[in-house]
């Protein structure tokens, strides 16, 4: 059994080995890499990414990254391809085949069929002298000196290099297409990432009531309005314009301070510097403002007029936090 220090050192050594495998890729960004980027940018079809074993898992991640950054892509398992899935490939597609050795039996069987289709074949391979590399139109070299595995057997550094090369391709395509955060949101509408890029304050405020009282409202009226809407606050208005805010904390402090509350009005209780956000702002900006000011709700305005309240619980429910 290894002691704690030995375990930490093993982990550090594995990470250093994998980091070196990625750093070495910098020297392998060559003309073939640039040609692959141009071919994909001009592509009328999809990018088909294939592999077997651990390389197949990396292929699936690369496909997911390409799809989410604007490059239509499909994963095709190399073993399934020779049992019918070759029908996935269409005339205008480009194929990226991922393999460490480039000489696995499945790849050797698959490559001749891929060549017959006439599609551009890219080898993302760890052996530039392999069968796959010699039969590809372009080679993305992911050769590594050794695996992080102590026996130099389990795919570790090699799969890390494959993944990093795939990310490099995706990022280049993204930059070349001027793919923006708005474009990214189109492909992630249901996730927290997408919501940070498109969900507006008004989308949240419109789901809530619009608790409001005038400046002459009594304590009873204020409490009823706060309780009814369950947002922990009420806006104080003069002709639809915000002049203050009263939170449930303000009510508690007022009750502690005064014995007779019969003559107290909203003006006596309200905070006169409420934190306000425009309805058109992104919801994630509301989160930043809440954190900066240590508050749980913000008043929302539209063209200077009161439009509702957004509460931190709204952000929690939408997964923004």
**What are the binding residues for Zn(2+)?**
77
**Binding annotation:** 77
> Rounded CA gap, 310 and 70, in Å?
33
CB-CB contact of 84 with 185 (8 Å) = no
Q: If DSSP codes are grouped into helix, strand and coil, which group holds residue 151?
A: coil
CB-CB contact of 231 with 209 (8 Å) = yes
Could you tell me the CA-to-CA distances from 310 to 203, 290, 296 in Å, in that order? 9, 10, 9
Q: How many other CB atoms sit within 10 Å of the CB of residue 17?
A: 18
Residues 6+ apart with CB under 8 A from 243: 215, 236, 237, 270, 272
Rama region for 303: left / alpha / beta (φ>0; ψ in -120 to 50; rest): left
Q: Which of 31, 66, 24 is nearest to 49 (CA)?
A: 66
**Angle CA 110–116–119, to nearest 5:** 90
């Amino acid at each position: 059994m290894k002691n704690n220090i030995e375990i930490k050192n093993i982990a550090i050594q594995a990470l250093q080995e994998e980091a070196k495998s990625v750093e070495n890729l910098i020297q392998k960004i060559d003309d073939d890499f640039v040609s692959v980027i141009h071919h994909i940018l001009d592509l009328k079809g999809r990018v088909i990414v294939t592999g077997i074993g651990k390389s197949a898992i990396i292929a699936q991640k690369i496909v997911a990254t390409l799809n989410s950054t604007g490059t239509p892509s499909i994963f095709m398992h190399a073993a399934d391809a020779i049992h019918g899935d070759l029908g996935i490939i269409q005339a205008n597609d480009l194929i990226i085949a991922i393999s460490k050795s480039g000489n696995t039996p499945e790849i050797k069987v698959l490559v001749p069929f891929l060549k017959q289709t006439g599609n551009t074949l890219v080898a993302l391979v760890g052996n530039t002298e392999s069968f796959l590399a010699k039969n590809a139109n372009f080679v993305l070299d992911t050769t590594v000196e050794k695996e992080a595995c102590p026996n130099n057997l389990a795919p570790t550094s090699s799969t890390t290099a494959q993944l990093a090369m795939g990310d490099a391709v995706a990022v280049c395509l993204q930059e070349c297409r001027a793919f923006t955060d708005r474009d990214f949101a189109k492909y992630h509408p249901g996730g927290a990432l997408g919501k940070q890029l498109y969900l507006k304050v008004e989308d949240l405020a419109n789901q809530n009531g619009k608790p409001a009282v005038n400046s002459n409202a009594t304590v009873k009226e204020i409490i009823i309005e706060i309780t009814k809407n369950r947002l922990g606050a009420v806006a104080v208005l003069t002709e639809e314009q915000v002049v203050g805010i009263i939170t449930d904390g303000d009510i508690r402090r007022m009750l502690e301070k005064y014995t007779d509350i019969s003559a107290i009005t909203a003006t006596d209780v309200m905070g006169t510097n409420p934190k306000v956000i425009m309805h058109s702002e992104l919801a994630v900006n509301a989160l930043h403002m809440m954190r900066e000011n240590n508050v749980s709700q913000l008043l929302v305005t539209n063209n200077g007029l009161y439009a509702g309240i957004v509460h931190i619980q709204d952000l929690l429910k939408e997964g923004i936090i």
